[in-house]
Chain A
């Protein structure tokens, strides 16, 4: 089952004056992976949280598969990997994953959980508490947890921030394969332009706060993507393009901020 996401004029203002997201129209195509890049503090997490139904937009509407996010939440049909891994410290990796399955009212199949833990490279650490893991390992546990409920919509907020380069490459191979097989609609927030290009079908570039879309780049590189493709001229063009949009967004905003 795949779902599309439609954001119409979605905006968020915190308090009276902190405008985090200016009205944004954004359509996530069902089954696609969309990356969201933008400077730090521009409102990426806020936009993601509004799509997840965790934050109420100040204006505009979000529809997931034609229904408001509250419906998707009720069906536990989305999963979020938060910027902070937010694993419960008193539960082991396995039990943290089991909690998600319990909360989503999904059956707990030991074999599937084991497979997920292996997928994110945590074999041998299933029974470790979060405190016994490194920052990157915790992030991977959070990814495994988000994948465990087989959500139709997967929202990842900088999931690889603390993950080392080699593991990141491995995950960049394995995760899209899984999403494709499941038809998961994925939104990936990231700071890394090359990671955005490598993983996604489409990259949305946001301006500094308040966020607005400054570029919408379709990445039509063949799948499956391999690490070697990073040296591909096409790949270089895409990253160049995204990077230019990113810089332009910042440059356009700077004079205004300086006034």
Chain B
């Protein structure tokens, strides 16, 4: 217990000292100032927190129910699996920065944009572990059901549902902070109340104490959500929920065919959906409008040049930040394993930080690093770093204990063990994290560009929303989502190549 408390206390003291040293430079608020601000403005923050929590909770429930329904459908009707995964990925890749304003126009000032964004932020991270869990059932159990003449539905009800529970919990745990994040991003787009609104206000007013206090509260709430779900699960399950970020990319033959089908399906739903909802065509652009804007319209060239320039600006920050986060995450995980005494303290801290809605601290990064390139890159790297670290640590520890026993019996040193057993065991988790981090890093970079730096595709989307250039906005959404899916696919391809050599059993 003291061991766990010592680290954070030391960090707090250090923070206080540095902040006092930097007093007057308007970047860092000491913990004491945060505490004072929190007490003085308790009513204001409590009300805002209540609103945001309510929206986040609604989105959490809706998003997770959608994920559970989709997963059940994919299991009971296996042919729909590829389509469900593909469409779900595409929707997950929608840039929240652009969907936010569009939802705002559709729904008006009420809570729905926040709720929808929260739901969008959570369903995928629940769906993927759930699909893994629903399939991670010994075939004997399914044979047992079949031997009594029962089919897929019974299997789902009696066997798969229970077997998937730990995986569901793992997904829900990640979903709790994500829902909070989604709700706050939704509030950034022009809500009337909530933590996001206060954050924007604090940032505009360069109010250092307020910015830090809000970030601290958001972080504390997200961590509580993560731990709360973990604690409830621990009581129910008796075993730790598995850390699983994504199943190995399934790209068995017909990958392109499936992709084409998914694309067709999404375009169809998009087009028919807009028609059914009967939205104002001024802001509700269909697939044909986007095609028109990007290919046929007289100013299509201009649109492309705006988009490409913005994407170029974004890529300069996004790509290095993404890889830095991945590499650092994997390296530090290995270090922690090599020095086991560190692991005991490092793991809980890393898990805690994993649950921080990093985006909500975007204003801090801007305060700390300025509006330049460094801040953006650092934020992307942080966003990628923690999930990678957790996944890699988990993977490194998963090295089969019997194999480790064999290694020990040959007196293989820790470095040997790391190279020959642990790293191969880590690779699947590493790549799962790398894939899931593609959309996450895009989210990070677009939010920072939008809120802070004012360049790149995030800012382009925000600007086009504010000047009502909806052709450009929808085009940007389409392009960014597609790029995101392509990035995810490329990582998946590399993953398959590497796993085929080092962990072929993962591809079965």
Contacts and interface: CB of A to CB of B under 8 A. Distances in A.
A203 interface: no
A73 B141 CA distance: 15
A76 B148 contact: yes
A99 B158 contact: yes
Contacts of B257: none
B458 to A, nearest CB: 46
B341 interface: no
Nearest to A103: B148
B148 A54 contact: no
Nearest to A106: B148
B144 interface: yes
A100 B140 contact: no
A86 interface: yes
A80 B149 contact: no
B146 A82 contact: no
A86 B141 contact: yes
B96 to A, nearest CB: 38
A88 interface: yes
A104 B149 CA distance: 7
Given A82-B140, A84-B140, A103-B154, A90 B162 contact: yes
Name the prevailing secondary structure of the A interface residues: loop
B143 interface: yes
A228 to B, nearest CB: 36
B147 A54 contact: yes
A88 B141 contact: yes
A74 interface: yes
Given A86-B138, A90-B162, A74 B144 contact: no
A149 interface: yes
Contacts of A103: 145, 148-150, 154, 158
Contacts of B158: 88, 99, 102-103
Contacts of B141: 86, 88
Given A88-B159, A88-B162, A103-B154, A75 B149 contact: yes
Contacts of B150: 103
B144 A80 contact: yes
A52 interface: yes
B162 A74 contact: no
A82 B159 CA distance: 16
A122 interface: no
Contacts of B140: 82, 84, 86
B224 to A, nearest CB: 28
Interface string B470-497: 0000000000000000000000000000
Contacts of A76: 148-149
Interface in A89-109: 90, 99-100, 102-104
A35 interface: no
Nearest to A142: B144
Nearest to B145: A103
A79 B150 CA distance: 12
Contact of B147 (A80, A90, A99): A80
A78 interface: yes
Contacts of B147: 52-54, 73, 78-80
A82 B143 contact: yes
Nearest to B148: A103
A49 B140 CA distance: 11
B240 to A, nearest CB: 15
Contacts of B144: 80, 82, 86, 100
Contacts of B145: 103
A60 B266 CA distance: 46
Interface string A205-239: 00000000000000000000000000000000000
B443 to A, nearest CB: 37
B6 to A, nearest CB: 36
Contacts of A88: 141, 158-159, 162
Interface in B136-172: 138, 140-141, 143-150, 154, 158-159, 162
A162 to B, nearest CB: 15
Nearest to A49: B143
A84 B158 CA distance: 19
A158 B219 CA distance: 56
B162 A73 contact: no
A62 B159 CA distance: 28
B148 A104 contact: yes
Contact of B146 (A54, A75, A84, A100): A54
Interface in A64-80: 73-76, 78-80
B162 A54 contact: no
B145, B147, B159, B162 — most chain A CB neighbours (10 Å):
B147
Contacts of B162: 88, 90
Contacts of A90: 162
Contacts of B154: 103
Nearest to B141: A86
A104 B147 CA distance: 9
Contacts of A104: 148-149
A98 to B, nearest CB: 11
B454 to A, nearest CB: 54
Contacts of B138: 84, 86
A82 B295 CA distance: 62
Contacts of A78: 147
B475 to A, nearest CB: 49
Contacts of A102: 158
Which among B138, B140, B144, B154 has the highest number of chain A CB atoms within 10 Å? B144
A74 B141 CA distance: 17
A80 B143 contact: yes
A192 B154 CA distance: 36
A218 B276 CA distance: 74
B167 to A, nearest CB: 14
Going nearest first, the 5 A-B pairs with the smallest beta carbon separation are: A86-B140, A103-B148, A73-B149, A80-B147, A74-B149
15 contacts: A52-B147, A53-B146, A54-B143, A73-B146, A76-B149, A79-B147, A80-B143, A80-B144, A84-B140, A88-B141, A88-B158, A102-B158, A103-B145, A103-B150, A149-B148
Given A80-B144, A84-B138, A102-B158, 8 more contacts: A53-B147, A54-B143, A80-B147, A82-B140, A86-B138, A86-B140, A99-B158, A100-B148
Interface of A: 49, 52-54, 73-76, 78-80, 82, 84, 86, 88, 90, 99-100, 102-104, 149
